[in-house]
Structure 1
Amino acid sequence: MLFQVGGQGSRPTFFEMAAAQQLPASLRAALAYSVGVFALRRPFFHKILDYEDEFFALLMLVLETHSLRTTDASFSESLYGLRRRTVNMASRKDKQKMDSKHLQLPGLRKRQKVLSVVFLVILPYLKSKLQSVYNKEREARLQASLLGDGLTLDDGESYIDQAEVSYAGISVVGLDASRITRIKKQLSAVIAACYPWIHASNEGLSFAYQLLYLLDATGFYNLGLHVLGVHVCRATGQEMMDSSSRISRIRSRERERLCGPPWLKAVQRLLLGCIYTTLDYAQTGLIAAVFFFKMMEWWYQSAEERMSAPTVFPPPPPPPRPKVAEGGIPLPPDRALCPLCSDKRVNPSVVAVSGFVFCYPCIFKYISQYKRCPVTLMPATAEQIRRLFHDL
């Protein structure tokens, strides 16, 4: 009964739709792992990992276009025996006659197929690129906050630009380069500020549609299907037979369009045959490759664990304690006392740059005023104060 949630008749269950939606992400992770295994022996495959988003988007573009053209379903939906059907709002008379809320028409229009490719390939690719830009900007901000130095990345880059301009003697090129760099930084900052809201809105809409689909309040599993006016339904035996005949008609028409001398037609037929065979076995081949590489990973990992015992290395020696500066505050003889107030520490906090522990109010006031550690006189900021919870 649990697996019938959200499914009535030709309508897929919630779990079928969730599995079909999660398949591309799982396939991408498995392909990335497979390419990483090959890259250990062939460094050429590292280039594929550098452009992982582009290669996966191109692969899914070919697979989704072929699947929508031949089966009226996405790549993952066709694997689960699902089909997309156009939904038109029926009139009141039609509702009374058919006793349904929607009138379903077989097949997809050309516009719906094109927009389906956009929702299945283009938008996930743009989301992945925005996610990478957001992660880079976040790492840069975190690194800048941890360094806490007066020299920032902007100062260094402007210094480099000025040096290049003075050395080359061409000020226009330097100004253009600095302007482009500034525009890129501003764009990255805008993306870093807007992406969390965009991601939260997208996830919220997805959750709302999935909840409504689970409660049988709507026939659309996500916003993309609602915009396209498409329902996902289980494929019947007749539809599968029609898909096979449609594929054969499309391929026969493509063979008839071949032109040129006989030898060129033979080469074109051979290439088309290879492409058709690759597309026919793409689903089975990709899924089989995923299971094969995961099985090999488990096999070699278990073999290595059996053959080699875990090696326990001794812990590294602690780093030397920072020395007290000449003008710094001397340390009290009792380690439980705060060097600033000479009383027992309250809310102990450590300065990350030096490692000395103080009372939180004392060290916060001192660093906010002098911007340095009171013992070592090393530059420090309030963000580099870490609370210690040794009593937990």
Structure 2
Amino acid sequence: MLFQVGGQGTRPTFFEMAAAQQLPASLRAALTYSFGVFALRRPFLHKILDYDDEFFALLMLVLESHSLRTTDASFAESLYGLRRRVANISIKKSTLTAESSEKTHDLGLRKNQKILSVVFLVVLPYFKSKLQSMYNREMEARLQASLWGNDEPRLDEAGFHLDQGETSTHAVGRTNAEVSSLTHFRKKITKLVVICYPWIHATNEGLSFAYQLLYLLDATAFYSQGLHALGIQVCRATGQELMDSSSKISRIRSRELEGLRGPTWLKAMQRVLLKCIYTSLDYAQTGLIAAVFFFKMMEWWYQSAEERMSAPTVYPPPPPPPPPKVAKNGVPLPQDRSLCPLCCQKRANPSVLTVSGFVFCYSCIFKSVSQHKKCPVSLIPASVDQIRRLFHDL
């Protein structure tokens, strides 16, 4: 599954390099999310989530080693049709003011460069993740201590309550001495990480930004400081290289299968095991890209669902109340709706009784409600506080 984004020449575009660099982070998020969903029904998967750094580093170690060995590119770069080449740059200057001329030769990666590439792609990100976690835990602990103090039950250095167990004095003293020295060493390491990590992180991010900006402006051929340190350039693979990659993989696997040693049954088992590994590696790219796509789709789905749930609900307007009814023993309504039901004259200072909705003269309804404490038409209990003046005639 190879992609080749547009562009001219062998130099990849900035967006190709950025996409290849961001793919491992998206892949890790997708795998973590998938395992988190599965762990809801299979609790034993929480053990994998507890060691997600180690699990992902081991997975990427296998993928990156296989990809560099077969295609001379990292796992993410091979998906975008990119290849790593040795950059031998020779600069010739005729005069001090003359322009420099550069000549770049693309060569295949050497064995030590492949090993160092794996170190830069897997080992260093793993240690960076562990340092980030250690720094975050220490800062959270300091913040909690500053807010709440250290009022929690005290534990000994080995993690047990101080009054737990009955051991000999010699064993306790030896254990306490060993644990004390180990704890002292850990505290020194943690303190050193807290002091140095922000500077290391800021320096690394600043260099990364500088290299990416220079690469975007076509001022350097190296996208990152790691590639510059290794003397490696990333180039767009040619059509012939893309076609030859499958034959190269076939030759490597044929040599491995022919180099098996041992009894016939052992060679058969090794052959089956290698074929299973080859099949897993062949489908790893498709499966992992499908995992990233699935993660992005689920992220969009749940984000849309949360937005729908958090959005204010618009309800339709309530239906109007039913029209008031004239009670059997109440005052009948005149045929002319502009007349007051009490005085049968044109309403003066029209006012409505809110409990029933009928309109009267203000003086008429005020006297009636004051005496009878109810609406004269519907006989619903009412008070003078429920009389409202109407101003539609003004």
Deviation at 1:291, TM superposition (A): 1.8
Residue 290 of structure 1 corresponds to which residue in structure 2? 292
Residue 269 of structure 1 and its aligned partner are, at CA, apart by 1.7
Q: Distance in 2 between matches of 1:137 and 1:299?
A: 35
Gap change, CA 1:143 and 1:301, over 3 Å in 2 = closer
Q: Do structure 1's residue 269 and structure 2's residue 290 form an aligned pair?
A: no
Cα deviation, 1:155-193, whole Å, max 9, x if unaligned, reads: 754797875798531212211111211211221111111
Q: Cα distance, 1:271 vs. partner?
A: 1.5
Aligned residue for 1:10, secondary structure, equals coil
* Separation (CA, whole Å) in 1 of partners of 2:126 and 2:275: 30
Partner of 2:73, secondary structure, is coil
Corresponding letter in the other structure for 1:220: F
Matched, 1:128 2:142: no
Give the secondary-structure state (helix, strand or coil) at the position aligned to 1:32.
helix
Secondary structure in 2 matching 1:12: coil
Matched to 2:138, the amino acid is E
Residues 10, 304 of structure 1: alpha-carbon distance in 2 compared, 3 angstrom cutoff: closer
Q: Which residue of 1 aligns with 2:11?
A: 11
For residues 360-371 of structure 1, what are the structure 2 equivalents within 5 Å? Answer: none
May I ask how many residue pairs the two structures share in their alignment? 300
- Output one character per residue of 1:251-287: Cα deviation in whole Å (capped at 9) or x when no partner: 0100101123333322222211111111112111111
Counterpart position of 2:67? 67
Contact residue 134 and residue 192 of structure 1 kept, 8 A: yes
Give 1:8 deviation, angstroms. 5.3
Q: Which amino acid aligns with 2:128?
A: K
> Deviation at 1:102?
3.5
Q: Which runs of 5+ in 2 are unaligned?
A: 94-99, 314-394
Q: Larger deviation: 61-70 or 237-246?
A: 237-246
Q: Is the Cα contact below 8 Å between 2:155 and 2:162 reproduced in 1?
A: no
Matched, 1:110 2:97: no
Q: Post-superposition shift, 1:240? A: 1.5
Matches within 5 A, 1:136-147: 136-147=137-148
Match of 1:250 in 2: 252
Give the alignment's Cα RMSD to 1 decimal: 3.1
- The C-alpha deviation readout for 1:314-352, integer Å capped at 9, x for no partner, is xxxxxxxxxxxxxxxxxxxxxxxxxxxxxxxxxxxxxxx
Cα distance, 1:299 vs structure 2? 5.5
Moved more, 116-125 or 103-112: 103-112
Query: Per-residue displacement from partner, 1:175-222 (whole Å, max 9, x unpaired)?
Result: 111121121122111111111011000000101111111111110000
Structure-2-length-normalised TM-score: 0.69
Aligned sequence identity (%): 71
Pair 1:23 & 2:23 matched: yes
- Which one has the largest radius of gyration? 2
Is the Cα contact below 8 Å between 2:32 and 2:49 reproduced in 1? yes
Decide whether the 8 Å contact of 1:87 with 1:102 is kept in 2: no
For 1:48 and 1:107, the matched residues in 2 are separated by 37
Q: In the alignment, what sits opposite 2:51?
A: 51
Residue 235 (1) aligns with residue 237 (2): yes
TM-score normalised by structure 1 residue count = 0.70
How many angstroms does 1:298 deviate by? Answer: 5.4
Long gaps (5+) in structure 1: 94-98, 312-392
Q: Which moved more, 1:203-212 or 1:264-273?
A: 264-273
Quick one: distance in 1 between partners of 2:175 and 2:262? 51
Describe how 1:165-314 pairs up with structure 2 within 5 A.
167-170=167-170, 171-296=173-298
Aligned residue in 2 for 1:346: none
Q: Secondary structure at the match of 2:104?
A: strand
Structure 1 runs (4+) greater than 6 angstroms displaced: 158-162, 300-307
Distance 1:8 1:256, change over 3 A: same
- Opposite residue 106 of structure 2, the aligned amino acid is L
Q: Match for residue 376 of structure 1? A: none
Q: Is the 8 A contact 1:90 1:102 kept in 2?
A: yes
Counterparts of 1:304 and 1:21, CA distance in 2: 30
2:273 and 2:255 mapped to 1: Cα distance?
15
Do the aligned partners of 2:48 and 2:55 also contact (CA within 8 Å) in 1? yes
Report the 3-state secondary structure (helix = DSSP H, G, I; strand = E; otherwise coil) of the residue aligned with 2:105: strand
SS at match of 1:216: coil
Deviation at 1:230?
Answer: 0.5
CA distance in 1, matches of 2:304, 2:21: 32
Q: Is the 8 A contact 1:165 1:173 kept in 2?
A: no
The change in CA–CA distance for 1:276 and 1:86 in structure 2 (over 3 A counts) is same
Q: How big is the shift at 1:294?
A: 4.1
Aligned residue for 1:90, secondary structure, equals strand
